[in-house]
Amino acid sequence: MAILVDKDSRIIVQGITGAEGSFHAEQCLAYGDNVVGGVTPGKGGQTALEGKVPVFDSCAEAREQVGANVSLIFVPPPFAADAIMEAAAAGIELIVCITEGIPVAQMVEVKSFVEQTGSRFIGPNCPGVLTPGAAKVGIMPGFIAKEGRVGVISKSGTLTYEAVDQLVREGLGQSTCVGIGGDPIIGTTMKELLALFEADSETDAIVMIGEIGGSMEIEAAKYAKENLTKPVIGFIAGQTAPPGRRMGHAGAIVSGVDESAAAKKEMMAQCGIVVVESPADIGKTVKRALS
């Protein structure tokens, strides 16, 4: 079953005629064979990926002509906010933005706009969504994952890949892997994804990878305590970061004691989440939780 994307997803790529968009669109098409088009204003009527997919001038046109319901965005930062809102205005159900460097002020406007539509937004500055064996929407390397029943939620792209590798080494596959991004303003939170995985009959356990800064992990932990029946295994990156020091992502900065790695780990443990000290422990810990 999985969440967010599956074999029936009809994906368009905004920015498909650019070098990065073209490269990753080809990878997504090769993985799931469900990229149905691209969007580049002014290039409608052309084709991309060596003639494999049509290019449209707008998301609305792509939705009407090829039934697009997922958009993958590889648009440069100055234009990415408008691209997200264009997709939402066109009624695209799931919008995944890979673009890094969108100004926070623009993201505040984007989040407000998208929340008024029926669209779900993942990102920005994220690796995207992967449902093994079904659909790849973003830059995650599909070959490292395998079909299974463990959901993965992560702020970090590289730690997503590490978690997947650890799970596979233990013989455990994934239902869906979601990289939510580490910017201060993002579209979909950990709490929202926990709810989706809890409702998914083909997910048995959930891995949740957070980092220092912000309160998202704490909110997710409290939600899990009150609402989840499935085991959640958590990890917090940035355990050695000094207060006030940004570590990697724009959102990864400790500005108060409740945002530190130690505070988040303590709250998660209090809420029944099994917290691991190292990403290397994720796979075996999930296996124990399911045994």
Catalytic positions, please?
249
- Cβ-in-10-Å burial (0-12, 13-18, 19+) of 201 comes to exposed
The neighbouring-strand residues paired with 38 are 13, 55
3-state secondary structure of 134: coil
Contact (CB, 8 A) for 208 and 190: yes
What would the two tokens of residue 127 be? Answer: 């690796």
Instruction: Give the list of residues 6+ apart from residue 291 with CB closer than 8 angstroms, or none.
Output: none
Return the beta strands (E) in 49-189 as ranges. 53-56, 70-73, 94-97, 120-122, 128-131, 135-138, 147-154, 174-179
Q: What is the DSSP letter of 160?
A: H
Instruction: Give the list of residues 6+ apart from residue 217 with CB closer than 8 angstroms, or none.
Output: 190, 208, 210, 234, 236, 264, 267, 268
CA distance 270 to 75: 41
Instruction: Give the list of residues 6+ apart from residue 215 with CB closer than 8 angstroms, or none.
Output: 258, 259
